[in-house]
Amino acid sequence: MKKIVAEKANEDGKNLVGTTKILISLLIFCIIFILSLMVGRYRLTPVQILYLIKEIPKYIWGHNAVTPPELIFYRVRLPRAILASTVGAVLSITGVLFQGIFKNPLASPSILGVTSGCCFGAALGILLPTQYPYIVQILAFVFGIISVLLTYSMAKIGKNQGVIMLVLAGMVISSFFSAALSFLKYVADPYEQLPAIVFWMMGGFHRSNWTNVSILLISVIPCVILLISMSWQVNIISLGDEDAKSLGINVKKIRFILLIIASFMVASCVSVSGTISWVALVIPHITRLIIGSNHRYTLPLSFIIGGSFTLVIDNIARTLTTSEIPISILTAAVGAPVFGYLLLMKKENLW
Amino acid sequence: MAIKIQNIRFGYEGSALLKDCSFNIGKGKIYSLLGGNGCGKTTLIKIIGGVLKAESGNIIIDDREIGKIKTKELARKIAYVPQEHISSFPYSVLEIVVMGRNPYLGMFSRPSVKDYNIAKEALNLVGICSLKDRNYMNLSGGEKQLVFIARAIAQEAKYILLDEPTANLDFKNQYKVLNIISKIVSERKIGVLISLHDPNLALTFSDYGIMIKDGSVLANGNMDDILTNQNLRLLYDAEVNVSYLDKGRKFISIVQEKEEYMMIV
């Protein structure tokens, strides 16, 4: 018994290491967040930033922004920084979840067809003659959800109820929506609509405004809390269906709940920002290198790292040249080499 | 208090693998499941563990039908140790073992310090406490098997099903693993069903045996009684020689066919 008591301290120590890493990354995120409010065409000084941050409550209670620094801070930079970090964070945490559930380090949230569905919906919204301002986002979201439900029902009809069937059904639905998207591109007006579709798909946070941001936060925050609180179930499901079942988990039910929540989150993000490649794939790997595979720590840490990464990339996207670079180009250009470096440098058998 | 397996029938792709299997598993004893490759031992174990569902027949666990027991409750009654396990993520040994505590946790909860202590106790019992912080993916086959046995112990189930736990182990480790299992059975009074390939190991370590042939039970009873020449010949489709070692203990070997023997010489 003495031995066990001695080791208990060790176990608590390990928890402490994980928590410390999360707190440190949270601190880094805050620094990045404040810095990204400063950089841009119109440079804001740290003094101005501190003053403006202090004035946020006043602004929330209806005070109108008048001076240029105020306008830039409240109308442009703050919503954009919140949007970029939220989208990146959500994509990363869902990436971790999908990789865990599918027992595959190459899985990403797009595996069930949500991204293709969103792209199709957005393209449809661009082609429709209506002038309703949010039609593109609404259609993107709706078709993202429709595609996931189609994938799920198709897998359910199939005899084999395992994960493989789900992946294959996802491929079928993705391909279908890609074909439909290609058709829309083909019939689109090549001077106005086609570029709009292409730019939408390359992603960007230039559509950020307070309406977008608040809708996104309201829909995403409860989901994130739910996912993190279910991290233990994710751990067990990542062992495989049979193991999870023999450990008392209703695999089909829990997997359905988790994947639907995650797809809902991804659809909400993609419908605002367009597709953002690589974040959902690379950040989970970076996170696992830092903190290991226990989803209790991997989920929250990937959330923070994903937010910081996307925020940095977005800062580069909007400051590197006079016009804005679509963010997917940069996430891939930065993400791929970073990932390659990590793969070559890893010492232990990590996945 | 026992598991009653009644007239189990199961098939893959139309053909019946298990036709009519019935036997009982009681507490505090080790039951060996013997049979040739592909006779359905693994399938039967998965059916008893609730991982697969039988086409017809019934599993009664402590007087309740398996279909009427919730997944979580079933996991408190029966633990299942798979033959091999392919992991995709580098969990530590302790993390794997503490997952055995899941049947006692709610949907949104995590293992507490108490659960970790139970997991460590299980590791102690199996004798691999020193491995607890190692990456489970880097362990050898025998160590992995012990980790999963520890997880089954942490699960505190009344019955443990083991699917060929000695399959990938060397000569010494086969005995080590089976010794640990007998120790647990005598300490915790649980019922163990274990599928084995070697009838000698089954004879050494188990109290009762169940022989599966062509989808039904060929023989079922005291290990020493059912290991007869005739039963073994039918079971493995081979000439089997039952010889006696000192103290009258049986030793089973395959009789080599003559021509083959000549060639070897």
Per-residue three-class SS string for chain B: CEEEEEEEEEEECCEEEEEEEEEEEECCCEEEEECCCCCCHHHHHHHHCCCCCCCEEEEEECCEEHHHCCHHHHHHHEEEECCCCCCCCCCEHHHHHHHHHHHHCCCCCCCCHHHHHHHHHHHHHHCCHHHCCCEHHHCCHHHHHHHHHHHHHHCCCCEEEECCCCCCCCHHHHHHHHHHHHHHHHHHCCEEEEECCCHHHHHHHCCEEEEEECCEEEEEEEHHHHCCHHHHHHHHCCCEEEEECHHHCEEEEECCCHHHHHHHC
Q: Is residue B34 one of the residues assigned to a domain? A: yes
Same domain flag for B131 and B173: yes
Q: Per-residue pLDDT for A13 more than 60?
A: no
Same domain flag for B219 and B189: yes
Q: Cβ of A25 under 8 Å from any chain B Cβ?
A: no
Tell me the pLDDT band of A3, cut-offs 50, 70 and 90: very low
Q: Per-residue pLDDT for B32 more than 70?
A: yes
Q: What is the pLDDT of residues A155-192, one digit of tens each?
A: 888 776 678 889 999 999 999 999 999 999 999 999 98
- Higher per-residue pLDDT: A341 or A77: A77
Q: What mean pLDDT is predicted for residues B180-199?
A: 92
Are B102 and A236 within 8 A, CB to CB?
Answer: yes
Are B46 and A242 within 8 A, CB to CB?
Answer: yes
Q: Per-residue pLDDT for A241 more than 80?
A: yes
Q: What is the ipTM of this complex?
A: 0.86
Same domain flag for B202 and B242: no
Are A232 and B102 within 8 A, CB to CB?
Answer: yes
Same domain flag for B144 and B238: no
**What is residue A1's predicted lDDT score, i.e. its pLDDT?**
36
Are A247 and B138 within 8 A, CB to CB?
Answer: no
Are B71 and A248 within 8 A, CB to CB?
Answer: yes
**What is residue B239's predicted lDDT score, i.e. its pLDDT?**
86
Q: Is residue B150 one of the residues assigned to a domain? A: yes
Tell me the pLDDT band of A265, cut-offs 50, 70 and 90: very high
Q: What mean pLDDT is predicted for residues A248-274?
A: 93
Q: Is residue B152 one of the residues assigned to a domain? A: yes
Q: What is the pLDDT of residues B108-162, one digit of tens each?
A: 888 989 999 999 999 999 889 999 888 888 888 888 999 999 999 999 999 999 9
Same domain flag for B106 and B181: yes
Residues spanned by the domain of B171: 26-54+69-226
Q: What mean pLDDT is predicted for residues A99-114?
A: 88
Same domain flag for B221 and B234: no
All domains of chain A in start order, with CATH: 2-345 (1.10.3470.10)
**What is residue A230's predicted lDDT score, i.e. its pLDDT?**
94
**What is residue B109's predicted lDDT score, i.e. its pLDDT?**
86
Q: Per-residue pLDDT for B215 more than 70?
A: yes
Count the neighbouring beta carbons within 10 Å of the beta carbon of residue A344.
7
CA distance B98 to chain A (A): 10
User: Closest to B103 (Cβ–Cβ): which among A11, A240, A248?
Assistant: A248
Same domain flag for B98 and B168: yes
Look at chain B and report how many structural domains it folds into.
2
**Mean pLDDT rounded to a whole number for chain A:** 88
Q: What's the rounded Cα separation, in Å, for the pair A136 and B1?
A: 63
**What is residue B265's predicted lDDT score, i.e. its pLDDT?**
46
Tell me the pLDDT band of A130, cut-offs 50, 70 and 90: confident
Q: What mean pLDDT is predicted for residues B48-58?
A: 90
CA distance A235 to chain B (A): 8
Chain B residue nearest residue A103, CA to CA: B88
Tell me the pLDDT band of A11, cut-offs 50, 70 and 90: low
**What is residue B261's predicted lDDT score, i.e. its pLDDT?**
54
Structure tokens at B171: 């000569």
Same domain flag for B47 and B112: yes
Residues of B in contact with A250 (CB under 8 A): 71-72
Amino acid residing at A142: V
**What is residue B257's predicted lDDT score, i.e. its pLDDT?**
67
- Higher per-residue pLDDT: B88 or A217: A217
**What is residue B116's predicted lDDT score, i.e. its pLDDT?**
93
Task: Say which CATH number the domain at B169 has.
Answer: 3.40.50.300
**What is residue A56's predicted lDDT score, i.e. its pLDDT?**
83
